[in-house]
Structures are given as C-alpha cells and as structure tokens.
Amino acid sequence: MNVASRMSYQGSSVSPSSDTLRDAVSPPPGTAAKRRVLIVEDEASIRELVRLHLALDGFDVTEVGDGGRALELARGTRFDLIVLDVMLPGIDGISLCRALRTDGANTNASILMLTARDTESDKVLGLESGADDYLAKPFGMRELLARVGAVLRRASRAADSTDGATAHQLRARDLVLDADRRGLVVRGSRVELTKQEFDLLYLLAARPGIVFSREALLAKIWGGDTYVTERTVDTVVSRLRRKIERDAQDPELILTAWGVGYKFVDAD
C-alpha cells in the first residue's frame, strides 16, 4: 500500500493528461495506430496505476500478472512497449526479457524494466538481459511516462535512421550489417542484436579506426537521454563483444581506447 500511495501521490503532482506529458509519450499528429503496451507486474496496485496512466496516454494496454502468461502472449503478439517487473511469480523478469529478445514477435520491442532494488548490479543485469531502460521502485507516474517517452523516441529514431537508407549494407572485417533489416551476419551466421547494439556497432564499424568517447556514443545512440550513464555504453559493448568476437575477453573488432572510449579496428 505504501508503494502505491506514494506512486499515486507523485503522479498527482502532475496530471498525466497535461500537455507536457502528452508531448513526452503521445505519437505525433497523423500517427493514427494506437501503440500496444504489455504490462507485466504481479502487484495489482502498481499494475493498475501503470495501466491507467498509459491508457490515458493513448496506449492500447494488455496487462498480466505472471511471467509465464506474459511469455505466452508475447510470443505471438507484437508490442511496441513492454513494461516488465523483475520480481514475478513463474518466470522472473530477467529470464523473460532474455527469452523475448531471443525469438518471437518482440525481439525488437522497447522494454522498460521495473525493479524494487536500486543498485548498480540490478541495473546492469536489467540492461544485460536486453532491456532498453530500467526504473527503480518506488517511482512516480511522471517519471514512468518520461522514461516510456524516451525509449519509444529512441526506437522511432532508430527506425527512421534505417528507413532513410536503401539496401544499405556495410561490410567490415567478419561482419555484414544490413541497415534496412537491422540484421547482422558474423562469419556467415546470422546474429540477433537489440536496437542499441545494432546502432552502436553500425556507428563504430562505419568509421573504422576512429575513437568515439563514451560521451559521444551516449549522445549519438541514446540522444542525450539523462537516464543513462557512461556505464551503459560499457554494458552494451560487452554484450556486443560476446555476440561478435571470437573471444570476448580478447576482442579483435571492437577495441577499447583506454580512458576514452571505443573504436572499430582499423581497415586493413
């Protein structure tokens, strides 16, 4: 009850229907289709608040209270956004997130994780599992809507940047990156990447030998989102290395520029 009352209190300080929040989350004019969100949360009071505020903001909301049912639903139905609690009965949120990223209709959906614990390791775990962002409980509805707006903007920017390129293939060493399909082939095998992993890899591989600072990567990939830190860049790079390097501990493609950031290995 404490969590719920604090959340409703925080939410009431700024009405979810205010112009500011509408701008943060609502689709631009002319975007008719309602965006679909799946809320996975076992605490009914929190689920209800999140459902209410996202519905007010124009989302088509589906809600479930356990991980197994969520997985079942998400295998076949594509959602624009999944709000996913970490501590769930059945399948926990981290395992569920990994499963969603592996196959089914939501490998590229935006995923916002909710957790009761606000420690760095939880945050890293959430992002490592393929979540796009993370929100610690207790949170206000205003913060939730701001985060939702941010992850969806990033997703739509990523889609726009690839829509603009026509049949754009980038070959770099062992990799073939397909900007149209957001696909990656590594040494002949297709590898699934999240939006952020793809964008980061594409940015680096398109400019071999050029060092990007963590700050620059944050600005380019996350668009100055104030909720992510430079540590996030390291997390996404280590995830990428596990997917593309022969030996993630001894990378040959994405190299560390000590104290600065990262670069893709120089062209031959």
Residues that bind Ca ion (CB under 5 A): 42, 85, 87
Shortest separation between residue 170's beta carbon and Ca ion, angstroms: 41
Which residue number, 2 or 166, has a Cβ lying nearer to Ca ion? 2
CA distance 97 to 84: 8
Q: Which two tokens stand for residue 267?
A: 């062209």
Shortest separation between residue 43's beta carbon and Ca ion, angstroms: 5
Q: In the sheet that 189-191 helps form, which strands lie side by side, from edge to edge? A: 169-172, 175-178, 183-186, 189-191
Strand blocks (E) in the chain: 36-40, 60-64, 81-85, 110-115, 133-136, 169-172, 175-178, 183-186, 189-191, 212-213, 254-257, 261-264
> Residue 102: which of 74, 126, 81 has the closest Cα?
74
Shortest separation between residue 70's beta carbon and Ca ion, angstroms: 12
Shortest separation between residue 115's beta carbon and Ca ion, angstroms: 9
Which residue number, 87 or 248, has a Cβ lying nearer to Ca ion? 87
Shortest separation between residue 88's beta carbon and Ca ion, angstroms: 6
CA distance 191 to 177: 10
Which residue number, 35 or 147, has a Cβ lying nearer to Ca ion? 147
By the 8 A CB rule, do 254 and 209 touch?
no
Which residue number, 87 or 211, has a Cβ lying nearer to Ca ion? 87
Which residue number, 70 or 205, has a Cβ lying nearer to Ca ion? 70
